[in-house]
Amino acid sequence: MSALDRERITSLESPLARKVEFYEEIGSTQERARELARKGAPHGTLVVSKIQVGGKGRLGRSWISPPGGLWMSLVLRPEIPARYAARITQAAAVGVAKTLRNLGVEAEIKWPNDLLVRGRKICGVLAQAIVGDNKQGYFIILGIGLNANFMPSDLELTDREAATLSSELGREVDLLELLDALLRNLDAELGRLDDFDEILADWRSMTCTLGRHVRVRRFGQVLEGEAADLNPDGALILKTQSGVFELFEGEIE
């Protein structure tokens, strides 16, 4: 088993780990990566920490990040125009899902980009686009929180159940190998953003959301209907009694 450290991560020679910061403990890798990006950090700057004490989830939630997880944030400066930045969300979810499936964990993607195993969340993806706050164009901070070498009970969640790689595989995984595989898959997906149809086809083949009757909360509003498909831009097409909605953000039940 190789523990994670800066030298080992750098030795992976991934284009997504051109510049690496590694912490024993940090508030949030997401905030650190954003800080670095604002100071001009290049595409492929990677921040990893063994523990996060102020991990951030979607919709302002906190993200519990004990030792044994893979907690990382990437600075991305994609070559595609900013109006297509939302593509990164599906591309990243597909990259993570492929990584988990290659390990033998049948992960499914829950819209917009949660990774579930048997209905339990194993990984969260947070893609935050920041546009026009400097002359270098827009950038994206892609945060990935993957429950790996600990048990779901370590998260002490009371409101929902989670999964971890340990609980699914009955063993610990090598975090360096896991990160290597993840960076390869992410790089492959991010490298084909121009072929977004293909990313969407993979997304559709691995989702547990489409074809289901769902309730979506967004901006304090609740919409209920059938999750019919993704549109060519990656928005969820929700067919409700009051019409068809195309959603980029929200929380599904």
Q: Which two tokens stand for residue 243?
A: 């019409």
Nearer to ligand BTN, 43 or 56 (CB): 56
For residue 228, the tally of other CB atoms under 10 A from its CB is 14
Contacting positions for ligand BTN (CB under 6 A): 28-30, 52, 55-58, 61, 63, 65, 71-73, 114, 124-126, 143-145
Nearer to ligand BTN, 69 or 225 (CB): 69
Give the residue at shortest CB distance from ligand BTN.
124
Beta bridge partners of 229: 237
Query: What is the rounded CA–CA span in Å between residue 88 and residue 56?
Result: 19
For residue 100, the tally of other CB atoms under 10 A from its CB is 25
* Min dist. Cβ of residue 83 to ligand BTN (A): 23
Nearer to ligand BTN, 148 or 190 (CB): 148
Please compute Rg for the chain using Cα positions.
17
Amino acid at 85: A
* Min dist. Cβ of residue 252 to ligand BTN (A): 12
* Min dist. Cβ of residue 89 to ligand BTN (A): 11
* Min dist. Cβ of residue 195 to ligand BTN (A): 26
* Min dist. Cβ of residue 176 to ligand BTN (A): 17
Nearer to ligand BTN, 28 or 164 (CB): 28
Nearest alpha carbon to residue 52 among 27, 15, 77: 27
Kind of pairing between the strands at 114-117 and 108-110: antiparallel
* Min dist. Cβ of residue 194 to ligand BTN (A): 26
Pair 252, 214: CB distance under 8 Å: yes
H-only helix segments in the chain:
6-10, 29-38, 87-102, 165-169, 175-190, 196-205
Nearer to ligand BTN, 79 or 253 (CB): 253
